[in-house]
Amino acid sequence: MNNIKWAAIQPLTGGFYLGAEAAIGHSAEWIMSFEGFDNCKCDKDGNIKSCSNEYHLLEYLKKHNREVPYYVIHSDPFKINVTDLNPNITINDNSENPNYDNLDLVVAVPVCSGLSVVTKANEATKDARNCNMQWITYYTLNVIKPKIYIFENAPTLMGDRGNELRHWFNELAKEQGYSLLYYKTDTCLHNNCQKRPRTFVIFQKHNKDVQIQNPVSFEYQSLQVSIKEFLKRIPNNCSQEISIKTGPYNHYVLDYLNYKYNGNWKAQNITGVLLNHIIKNNLMDELIEFIKNSDKYDEEAKTKSLKYIEHIKYKKSLGLNYYGDDIQYVTDTMPSIQFRSLPNMLHLNEERIYTIREYLSFMGMPYDFELYGGESSSAQIGQNVPVGTAQFIVNQACKIIENWDNPREEISNSIYQNNIKQTIENEES
């Protein structure tokens, strides 16, 4: 696939970029992103305190002598008015623009928080954060015009909350001579152990002069790897083997379970959110007394923990659910790796939270990929596409590009493909 020309827009932490690079076999022609996504802040001694997503990827590419041109869009990524787009927007300080000629593929990772499951449903399609996704798509199809453009987003794009956006994408595709494949999948099905449903949107340029053309569907894949297997793969000499900090109440929950079950609570087959086991077995009062009598942590930790646990007890007494960031223990697949889960996932074999290195590995990132700024940047691990998932998706796109001259049917502008259910539907159905 060395003859395929490709580029990346807003790659964020870099999983999609590295997956595409692995599938195609060589670096991108260029990377383009918004101002500030490559920032790095240091203390007075020159040590990195924090940095933006793409700094990690750019440093990794430099370390491996892969000098990919990086172009900066000088605009707020969430305030570009799509209907008033200026194709001559400033892309670099020195007036040099990327070469858009004969690009086969462009991949992007727009911010998905506008369709996040924690966003209010009635506001989701009008959320300003969706402007990032819309503008990148508009610019790619209007100005760059690759054969295939792929971006990744939340699973809700395929549901009722995504209706307005999908209509917008469908109309844009027709206007610019593209067909659309919406590919819903779960990242754990692509040589991964992180369970996170995602939607990939694949624009395929019409390869002959027709008004509407059926997009080429992708293959299905169901290749899941366990957490245990992923842990085995990590070399012993990796850096960043530092556990992410967790809340004091999580330490108390673990201490209590060890006390309750004589240091062998795992023999009780307790999995999932550990506090749920305590609630289900009516042990909340016992946990509260345990915390009150413990002298292992300071008074501030004790006070905060008691306040949190007693609040949960109160909500449950009213028959209400609670939504907390509580310690979990899983043995097969990892729940969605994001800022909420990072400090709360208990190691499979040890009583500690997973390390930055382990979380990066669960995303399929290379073992020498560094997260600069350490724990201050840890949330960016989840703002990412697992490398294995990205590699599978781009492999499918490459097969289409390599057979580009084969005619396609004139049926439907867009189809929905579900890798989880292994079904395909026309938009109209």
3-state secondary structure 377-418: HHHHHCCCCCHHHHHHHHHHHHHHHHCCCCCCCCCCCEEEEE
Q: Are residues 141 and 268 in the same domain?
A: no
Residues 300 and 395 in one domain: no
128 and 144 share a domain? yes
Q: Are 143 and 42 in contact (CB under 8 A)?
A: no
Q: Examine the domain organization and report whether 33 and 179 are in the same domain.
A: yes
Strands 48-51 and 148-153: unpaired
Report the domain count for the chain: 2
pLDDT one-digit tens code per residue, 166-177? 999 999 999 999
Residues 222 and 246 in one domain: no
Same domain, 393 and 296: no
Both 221 and 245 in one domain: the answer is no
296, part of any domain: yes
Structural domain including 150 reads 6-226+384-426
Pairing of strands 414-418, 423-426: antiparallel
Cβ distance 29 to 99 under 8 Å?
yes
**Domain membership flag for residue 38:** yes
Q: Is residue 1 part of a domain?
A: no
Which parts of the chain have pLDDT scores under 50? 121, 428-429
Residue 377 maps to a domain = no
CB 427 within 8 A of CB 170: yes
Longest dimension (CA), the chain: 77
Dihedral sign (CA 307, 313, 316, 318): negative
Residue where a domain terminates, one of 367, 398, 413: 367
Tens digits of residue pLDDT in 23-46: 999 999 999 999 999 999 998 888
Strand partners, 416: 182, 425
Residue 376 belongs to a domain: no
Residue where one domain finishes, among candidates 341, 367, 393: 367
Query: Would you state the pLDDT for residue 91?
Result: 74
State residue 88's pLDDT score: 57
**Within-domain flag for 271:** yes
CATH number of the domain at 111, please: 3.40.50.150
Calculate helix-pair angle for 284-293, 248-260, nearest 10 degrees.
110
- Residue 428 pLDDT: 46
| Rounded distance between C-alpha atoms, residue 385 and residue 17, angstroms | 9
For position 118, what pLDDT does the model report?
A: 54
**379 lies in a domain?**
no
Does residue 33 sit in the same domain as residue 144?
yes
To the nearest whole number, what is the mean pLDDT of the chain? 89
**Do 106 and 128 fall into the same domain?**
yes
Query: What is the model's pLDDT at position 220?
Result: 97
Q: Judge contact between 40 and 372, C-beta under 8 A.
A: yes
Decide which of 367, 396, 413 is a domain's last residue. Answer: 367
Whether residues 206 and 285 share a domain: the answer is no
SS3 263: coil
Q: What is the CA radius of gyration of the chain?
A: 24
101 assigned to some structural domain: yes
Residue 198, both tokens:
């995602």
Same-domain status, 250 and 202:
no
Quick one: which H or E segment has residue 309?
helix 299-317
Task: Give pLDDT, residue 125.
Answer: 56
203 with 137, same domain: the answer is yes
